[in-house]
Amino acid sequence: MARKLFGTDGVRGVAGELLTAELALALGRAATAQAGADRPRVLVVRDTRESGEMLEAALAAGITSAGGDALVGGILPTPAAPLLLDRYGFDLAAVISASHNPFADNGIKFFGADGFKLSDATELAIEQRLRAEHGQPAWAAHADTSALRGSPRPERLGRVHRLHGTQEDYLRGLHERFAGLDLSGVDVLLDCAHGATYRVAPEIFRRLGAAVTVLADEPDGRNINAGCGSTHVDALAAAVREGGHDLGFAFDGDGDRVLAADRTGAVVDGDELIALAALHLRAHDRLPGGGVAVTVMTNYGFHTAMRAAGVQVATTKVGDRYVLEALRARGWALGGEQSGHVIDMGFVPSGDGIASALLTLEALAGGDLAHREAMEKLPQRLVNVRVVDRDGAMASAELVQATEREAAALSGRGRVLIRPSGTEPLVRVMVEAPSAQEADEVCARLVATVATAAG
């Protein structure tokens, strides 16, 4: 039986429509019961969306109704969850966030006691538990609460506890990892996307000695990711260049992604950040297994650079969960995505935007990001086409034929990749070619075909 509720990064949807308080309560109850501990201790953290407080309260109610204790940690980046799980031995963590999505969306993703996101099998078991307890799935009826009545009462109810000092715990973890990094004299610009990094990111850079200027650090519940952060990195790039900063970093709403800009305003994506990290860690004998895991979206130039450096590369489906699976299977520690998820399992088993930014500075060792030479990128064009039916568009014979035709024309010189988003109603069209002009032309033709196929 396939999962219907969980996507590639937890449960995500419009808050108050798909993702209701009733569904959050049911998820909290089912996930806690699935945790298996006698009295599960479940950490709950969130980003800055206005719906976060509602979902936090509902999750806590579900956790306690299943006999678990809800430990509410407040606003924290997603990667703080696995760090705190390890530090305090909690049984489960729930992160309330829709990452880079607009404020109206929200999501719930779970981490197990080992610090990793729950497996597909565990998420399926949670869905099956929901069906067994509530019959007609609550999410199928959106805000219909009638399907959520009649769950059995546990022998004892849990409690809700407010955790204090969680931000300091996370900052301490970062400081311990990068204790040898001296940022004195570094002028850095940070874009916090009005999200979960707005306090902790500037603080750790200042503690390490950097001169810090901050953008998008005044969340109001609705401005998260709005014209700022890693999904609008051009704003950071322009501000770095115009302000004369050494470099800049843009995080996403929940802080598990980062993109950079050098002093000239050139954007540095996840591929380049991973390449920098890989070569740095390998040079210092800190790249376990001598390999990295990346996704099918990774630029061909990355593969060329790693091959030249003697670094093995594993390629996965898009999604940090699949990168993590590849890393665990091989005993490797470094991987990530072009979008800015950079995973260093030597710190936490999750993308961590702040840690990745610091790792970039560690790799530069006082050098200029504008002079990076880790890889040479093949011109790439990526366009997201909004559609009503992702699967229908992908199954179109016209699109299949067009894709095969363009891929054959680029064989040996570039590549074409068309895939549905796992979290949004989008079809992503990606083209790499020897020249930017050819990449643009091929991409434009395929985008038009997707639009026609989507009706």
Whether residue 356 lies in the annotated active site: no
Identify the active-site residue in 51, 65, 99, 350: 99
SS3 string, 169-190, reads HHHHHHHHHCCCCCCCCCEEEE
Q: What one-letter code names the amino acid at 184?
A: S
- As given in the structure block, the two tokens for residue 296 are 């099918």
Residues with catalytic roles: 99
